[in-house]
Amino acid sequence: MDIQTKALHVGYEKGSEGAMAVPIYQTTAYEFKDAQHASNLFSLKELGYIYTRLNNPTTDIFEKRFASLEGGAAAIATSSGMSAIFFAIANAAEAGDNIVCAKQLYGGSLTLNTHTLKRFGIEARYFDVHDTAALEKLIDEKTKIIFFESLTNPSIDVADIEAITAIANKHGILSVVDNTVATPILCRPFEHGADITVHSASKYTTGQGLAIGGIMVEREELVEKLRSNPRYEHFNKPDASYHGLVYVDANLPPYSLRARLSLCRDLGAVLSPFNSWLFIQGMETLSLRMREHSKNALALAEFLESHPKVKKVNYPGLKSNSNYANAQKYFQDGACSGLLSFEVASFEEAAKILNATKLYSIVVNIGDSKSIITHPASTTHQQLNEQELAACGVPSGLIRISCGLESAADLIADMKQALEA
Ligand code: PLP
């Protein structure tokens, strides 16, 4: 089935009412048929709904539909993109372990990995996303995750997914790809060897800046990588917190199962049914929107590249861009999503441009249908020091644009007047 058809139909069977739109099951809990039924659900003898912190029919459809777009086996929806990332890491790593991460990450992921995980006893080690030799040197027997973004925010690099996942596979380590900016429409990391993907659904999935949410997806047959793998004993040995369940023997996608039974249960960062419903609406038009976002971004990038005030444009759809070959290899039809950045002379010059634009809203978000302009050094990346900023490719004159769905001609005209104001 084509991805656009899946986005409209997967996971939803109409009930006797024939409702065309997926219903919102706005409920906290579910009545059991009898005491035995309740007991069977808790012991996993039967699968069903228990309590919305564990599962919910509307969220279930969102999870199944998103997993099918990504080409995965199962998914867990979370209350935000950050909680999806935390779940993906916490499901594998514990105190004393380390994770190996690309330097070019979303600012929130950098602070999570460097500062918050450190307080949990998990060390983050960083490699340049284009230096896979450096990546391999960081691995040891305590490495549990290799984490990177397929299309990085805000440095706009395209990872060589196959090179990185080959190293992860060689060492039997789980690779986790944040595929937020590319979306499953443009890039499918599982086809290139990745094990788990995470997304901020707050971006292109909703598409109109309507809600915060996240999702973690696991590939098919991940059980084989986890089975008997000494790095992941907690998937292979009885879980004392769930009546001795051995996740790899449960005949269900094990990474999602453990995330649901342990992390959703104990951390509770789950998605509300209403937000699941919003994301289901967003998915219906995701592939159409991604095409238009990509077209607009390419047109704006080409204009910016020709402007004398612009020192550098970062957009992998430009032939001049060092990521062009990776983009052609990993992205559907070479379409590169709506995110681009460009560099002007200084912090002050960047501020002047932000203030002069009329169509671009100064907002710290991406993936909205309305265009957005951001100055990462003073906002999303403010918590990073000079060295950290330089390391993740965010100079002080960098401006990030999330190209919306306005007409490309209007976006270019407004940017021109702002540059020349
Ligand atoms: N990953 C990427 C690439 C992001 O851009 C963001 C947010 O901007 C996140 C994760 C975090 O997502 P959320 O804001 O939904 O927690």
Cβ contact 246:236 at 8 Å = yes
Q: Report which ligand 1 atom has the smallest distance to the Cα of 152.
A: 3
Distance (angstroms) between ligand 1 centre and the Cα of 7 equals: 22
Lowest mean pLDDT among 195-199, 255-259, 396-400: 396-400
Candidate from 153, 400, 401 with most ligand 1 atoms within 8 A of CB, to mutate: 153
What is the tens place of the pLDDT at every residue in 309-335? Answer: 999 999 999 999 999 999 999 999 999
**374 has a pLDDT exceeding 80:** yes
Paired tokens of 135 = 């990546």
Q: Which of 390, 402, 324 is nearest to 363 (CA)?
A: 402
CA dist 66 and 64 (Å) reads 6
Measuring CA to CA, how many Å separate 183 from each of 46, 81, 201?
Answer: 33, 13, 9
Please provide the average confidence, as pLDDT, over all residues in the chain.
96
Q: Where is 144: in which H helix or E strand? A: strand 143-149
**389 has a pLDDT exceeding 90:** no
User: Does ligand 1 lie within 6 Å of residue 80's CB atom?
Assistant: yes
State how beta strands 339-343 and 312-314 pair: antiparallel
pLDDT score recorded for residue 392: 65
State what percent of residues in the chain have pLDDT above 70. 99
Classify each residue of 191-214 as buried b or exposed e, where b means 16 or more C-beta atoms within 10 Å of its C-beta.
Answer: ebbbbbbbbbbbbbbbbbbbbbbb
Paired tokens of 358 = 């009329």
What is the tens place of the pLDDT at every residue in 150-181? Answer: 999 988 999 999 999 999 999 999 999 999 99
User: Does ligand 1 lie within 6 Å of residue 402's CB atom?
Assistant: no
- CATH of the domain spanning 288-420: 3.90.1150.10
Distance (angstroms) between ligand 1 centre and the Cα of 108 equals: 7
Task: Say which CATH class 3-281 falls into.
Answer: alpha beta
Distance (angstroms) between ligand 1 centre and the Cα of 82 equals: 6
State what percent of residues in the chain have pLDDT above 90. 92
Q: What is the mean pLDDT of residues 18-38?
A: 98
User: Does ligand 1 lie within 6 Å of residue 149's CB atom?
Assistant: yes
Distance (angstroms) between ligand 1 centre and the Cα of 229 equals: 30
Global pTM exceeds 0.95: yes
User: Does ligand 1 lie within 6 Å of residue 81's CB atom?
Assistant: yes
User: In which band, very low, low, confident or very high, does the pLDDT at 67 lie, cut at 50, 70 and 90?
Assistant: very high
CA dist 152 and 377 (Å) reads 16
What is the tens place of the pLDDT at every residue in 195-235? Answer: 999 999 999 999 999 999 999 999 999 999 999 999 999 99
User: Does ligand 1 lie within 6 Å of residue 216's CB atom?
Assistant: no
CA dist 271 and 345 (Å) reads 42
**22 has a pLDDT exceeding 80:** yes
* Domain parsing of the chain, residue ranges: 3-281, 288-420
User: Does ligand 1 lie within 6 Å of residue 279's CB atom?
Assistant: no
pLDDT score recorded for residue 390: 72
Q: Which of 72, 75, 52 is nearest to 63 (CA)?
A: 75
